Amino acid sequence: MIGAMARKLGAIILAAGKGTRMRSKRPKVLHPVCGRPILDYVLAAVRGLDPAQVIVVVSDPAVREAFSAAGVTFVDQAEPRGTGHALLQARGRVTPPSLLVLPGDVPLITSSVLSEFLEQHEKERADLTVLSVVLPAPGSYGRIVRDQDGHPTRIVEARDATADELGITEVNTGIYALRNDPFLWESLAGLGTGNAQREYYLTDLVSRYATAGKRVAAVPTPEPAAVMGVNSRAELARAEGMMRERIAAELMEGGVRIVDPAHTYLEPGVKVGMDTVIHPGTHLRGGTSIGEDCEIGPDAWIDGSRVEAGSRVRYSVLEGARVREGCDIGPYAHLRPGADVGPNVRIGNFVEVKAARVRRGTKAGHLTYIGDAEIGEEVNIGAGTITCNYDGKKKHRTVIGDRAFIGSNTALVAPVEIGEDAIIGAGSTITADVPPRTLGLGRARQVIKERKD
């Protein structure tokens, strides 16, 4: 968007709707789409225009609290009296001469769609411009009624429309460009409630402007998906699916192979390197970064983690973890926050790692818990090894030196240190440090007795 135009622009987001069809205690605009609240996407699209001022009209304190650090001005709509009444609450609070008004429930909206719309508004030299969309089955959307010359004269809500008007396929998106002038606020203050909802409709501005001889325009968007509103759980699921498709398309354009995009779950901000393969059932969340030439999935849950080049993660959960290059994770491994493994580390079946550094070439293939630990290079950790890090009050660290061999079914009672090249016999409970290049045993001698029967 042109900088001079942006400096004159104030954006008003109407986010006070109750969302009764969602059947939820949570405000509609706080419901997540691909891990982020609906309103977050709308704010991001608006910020892409670099407006001089952003106002969000809210009714639920939870919305204000959730976006308290968003750098916007909040205006309260104390009573749910319609979109016209909601916009009226910004009177005296918004200062730029040009206004963009849009609903807070359009998560697929983009800066480019809004920018093109505002440019058309400027080109039309209109006092009021409506962003419209042509739909083959308009459903409950308000219809754009035009006169014989093609000029918009009013918007009629579906519940108030005649049979002929219901046949109109050009509908209102709820996105408007207006001049911030006295006529706008006087018109809003004069709206009536003579409709099925007994509310003050913002759409009634179109007829008021047209009747007063103001220039009104309606500009159809070429991207119907971008203006889809979310009013129900079904529409929320549809929006999430479309957002995932958008994210997947961007990744595939960058050289990522996604075997089944419809069953791959991606959040905005996820980064994936070239020639990586993502199998079905994979969830990539929370700003996760995947390097090049990786194989992820099937059924991997990776949240806020970093997986470096050439690694494989199958049927596993990673949360706040780092996997360095060339690692093999899973199946059924769990890397918890603070896990840092690799390069070339093997973390196998039913192995859990938490707040631990596992260095190059180490292998923990089966049934192991590594918590609050520092594991050296080329260590072999046998099946059933447990770092006993918690004494009931405090966590303690375990340190294992390079090339140590930990036998199966070993309990390492922290704090404890196993030296380089040390060997721990299978079945041991180790409660004291084991020096380098020694054998540590902590188990009872085997006893064999004759049976008397």
**Is residue 451 situated within a structural domain?**
no
Residues 346-404: tens digit of each pLDDT: 999 999 999 999 999 999 999 999 999 999 999 999 999 999 999 999 999 999 999 99
| 242 has pLDDT over 70 | yes
Residues 194 and 324 reside in one and the same domain: no
Tell me what percent of the residues of the chain surpass a pLDDT of 70: 98
Range of the domain at 283: 233-440
**Domain-terminating residue out of 176, 198, 227:** 227
Residues 45 and 150 reside in one and the same domain: yes
**Domain-terminating residue out of 227, 257, 281:** 227
Residues 164 and 249 reside in one and the same domain: no
Please give the pLDDT value at position 17: 87
More confident residue, 20 or 180: 180
**Is residue 453 situated within a structural domain?**
no
366 is catalytic: yes
| 2 has pLDDT over 60 | no
Residues 342 and 396 reside in one and the same domain: yes
Please give the pLDDT value at position 5: 63
Residues 203 and 107 reside in one and the same domain: yes
**Is residue 414 situated within a structural domain?**
yes
SS (HEC) of the chain: CCHHHHHCEEEEEECCCCCHHHCCCCCHHHCEECCEEHHHHHHHHHHCCCCCEEEEEECCHHHHHHCCCCCCEEEECCCCCCHHHHHHCCCCCCCCCEEEEEECCCCCCCHHHHHHHHHHHHHHCCCEEEEEEECCCCCCCCEEEECCCCCEEEEECHHHCCHHHHCCCEEEEEEEEEECCHHHHHHHHCCCCCCCCCCCCCCHHHHHHHHCCCCEEEEECCCHHHHCCCCCHHHHHHHHHHHHHHHHHHHHHCCCEECCHHHCEECCCCEECCCCEECCCCEEECCCEECCCCEECCCCEEECCEECCCCEECCCEEECCEECCCCEECCCCEECCCCEECCCCEEEEEEEEEEEEECCCCEEEEEEEEEEEEECCCCEECCCCEEECECCCCECCEEECCCCEECCCCEEECCEEECCCCEECCCCEECCCECCCCEECCCCCCCCCCCCC
The CATH number linked to 283 is 2.160.10.10
Please give the pLDDT value at position 4: 57
Residues 259 and 408 reside in one and the same domain: yes
Residues 365 and 256 reside in one and the same domain: yes
Please give the pLDDT value at position 198: 79
Interval 117-141 mean pLDDT = 95
**Is residue 452 situated within a structural domain?**
no
Residues 47-64: tens digit of each pLDDT: 999 999 999 999 999 999
Residues 315-347: tens digit of each pLDDT: 999 999 999 999 999 999 999 999 999 999 999
Residues 168 and 237 reside in one and the same domain: no
| 453 has pLDDT over 90 | no
Q: What is the mean pLDDT of the chain?
A: 96
Residues 24 and 156 reside in one and the same domain: yes
Domain count, the chain: 2
Please give the pLDDT value at position 6: 61
Catalytic-role residue among 121, 151, 279, 366: 366
Q: How much is the pTM?
A: 0.90
**Domain-terminating residue out of 196, 227, 258:** 227
Residues 145 and 166 reside in one and the same domain: yes
Residues 267-302: tens digit of each pLDDT: 999 999 999 999 999 999 999 999 999 999 999 999
Please give the pLDDT value at position 194: 74
**Is residue 131 situated within a structural domain?**
yes
Please give the pLDDT value at position 193: 79
Tell me what percent of the residues of the chain surpass a pLDDT of 90: 91
Residues 28 and 57 reside in one and the same domain: yes
Residues 143 and 7 reside in one and the same domain: yes
Interval 113-126 mean pLDDT = 97
Please give the pLDDT value at position 442: 94
**Is residue 446 situated within a structural domain?**
no
**Is residue 48 situated within a structural domain?**
yes
| 3 has pLDDT over 60 | no
The CATH number linked to 34 is 3.90.550.10
**Is residue 449 situated within a structural domain?**
no
